[in-house]
Structure 1
Amino acid sequence: MNVLILSAAAKVQLVRAFKDAGARVIAADISPDNAALFEADQALILPRSDDPAFADALAEACAHHDVRLVVPTRDGELPVLSGLKACLAGRGVTVLAPSSEALETCQDKRRFAAFCAAHGFATPRTFAPGETPDFPVFVRPVRGAGGKGARRVDGPEPLGDELLVQALETDPEFTVDVLMDLEGRPLQAVARRRLLVRDGEAVKSQVADIADLAEQALALCAALALVGHNVVQAFWSAERGPRFIEVNPRFGGASNLSIRAGLASPERLLQMAAGEDAATRRPIAYGLTLLRYAEDRIVSEAELAALAR
């Protein structure tokens, strides 16, 4: 099966994971100087997702390369892909993007906190705009990604409506990789503790056997009607259980750990896209640890020029 990974950038491990699962991987980005393009079976240069030419270029690429599965990897492209999902489905292409309503709930952190409260999922205490919080607190932009603008606040200072203000949590932080089927039914989840985080991304992480956290993350993604691979962020302790802070409806930077631990999302997504059953839960290698490091990819000027053409 031909799989198109968008905004491939440096996501070499994701390309490798789909190749290992048996896919022919086509990686796309807006310029040739991206390492994952040279790891894929084929590379494409596509317009930015906010370019009016993107929709036609994506449809043409899917038709020309017989793509059956489109895998987004960047938050900014998800709204556009959600809007194109039905059209591409009519051409036999599955796009791993949720509905626009579900996506808006995930990408607006204040709306997400309200959704959790309405559906019985715990979050850190959330203060309304203009409400005087109990310090210290943790603030994050209501709309944003990658940990940008997130910080601890220890005392009174101007906090605008563009910031979500929540009680400061001191319990360990976890990521849960959640696999849903293509109709939004929950399949399996793997929790991993974030041991070391840089720029909002885990560079050291360990798979943890916490059934309560994994099952609640599955239930949350089901309530949101998400599809495919999703990344849930939460604080957790045995005494208090999980407090959810956000969901990213896409693969995460360190999702390779859960994939290798047994979740096997790429393999199971290929099965689902082919109409096969992928619901059987897989054994998980608890305690498996991810230690991320940089790897150089050296390419010639001729290789870059050839890809650009």
Structure 2
Amino acid sequence: MNSLSFAPTASSPSPVAGRTVGDLLREWRQRRRMSQLLLATEADISTRHLSFVESGRALPSREMVMHLAERLDVPLRARNALLMAAGYAPLFRERPLSDPQLAAAREAVELVLKGHEPYPALAVDRHWTIVATNNALAPLLTGASAELLKPPVNALRLSLHPHGVGASIVNWHAWREHVLARLQRQIEVSGDETLSALRDELAAYPAPPDAGPAHPDDIGTNQIAVPLRLRTPLGVLSLFSTTTVFGTPVDVTLSELAIEAFFPADPQTAAALREFAESQRDKTAS
């Protein structure tokens, strides 16, 4: 996996064949746990009109589709699906990251990844496919099979797979629970079937032979977040992560791009990563 090189992102529109816009709107409303009355109130329309739209007795205008999608916080990809189901052209473009019009976005991602060194960071798409990394990620991947590192690389699969990083995770049970819970929240927000399949796959992975039983100390009371504690050639590294996304994107690809940045959870990890970065600079200089 090359640092700061963008892998292609998958492009697949949400399925709309055989689905009416009313069906899709009702599905999103139910996913958001909203009643017709609540959505109608927030959208400033009558409950009767919303009922007619959902039942197919009334065809919403393009503006009404977008208005309801906004109130339901529907992702851009799914907003396009709603528009197409209603007979309108999609509004939001989906460009590959290699598109010249996304050059500024690529540069921004590169700056964030590079600027985060000596700590690890990676950029992922909506299905957790890694599209770019920085140089500090390398020590975390030691021990992962070459097969799992062949593009496209799925970050979550790599982290929990028995032949991936999973065998090196000290607090495997706590990290697995964190990953699955986070993935479930994404599924609830997006309704993405690919993420559902990924969750089922990850949940079926066996614990590494030396993982040991789950222990309460894996999530200590003094910790600010669930750490990733990983055995590496640099020693046991303890890291927590943050997520960065583009603000107010109008491109589907950008709306689904996220940067996962890892920070040291203890002074030992910070020192080890700084020393690794210095050693790599020395090698490059020589």
TM-score (normalizing by structure 1):
0.27
Larger fraction in strand = 1
Larger Rg: 2
Which structure carries more helix by proportion? 2
Bigger relative contact order, structure 1 or 2 (CA pairs below 8 A, ≥6 apart): 2
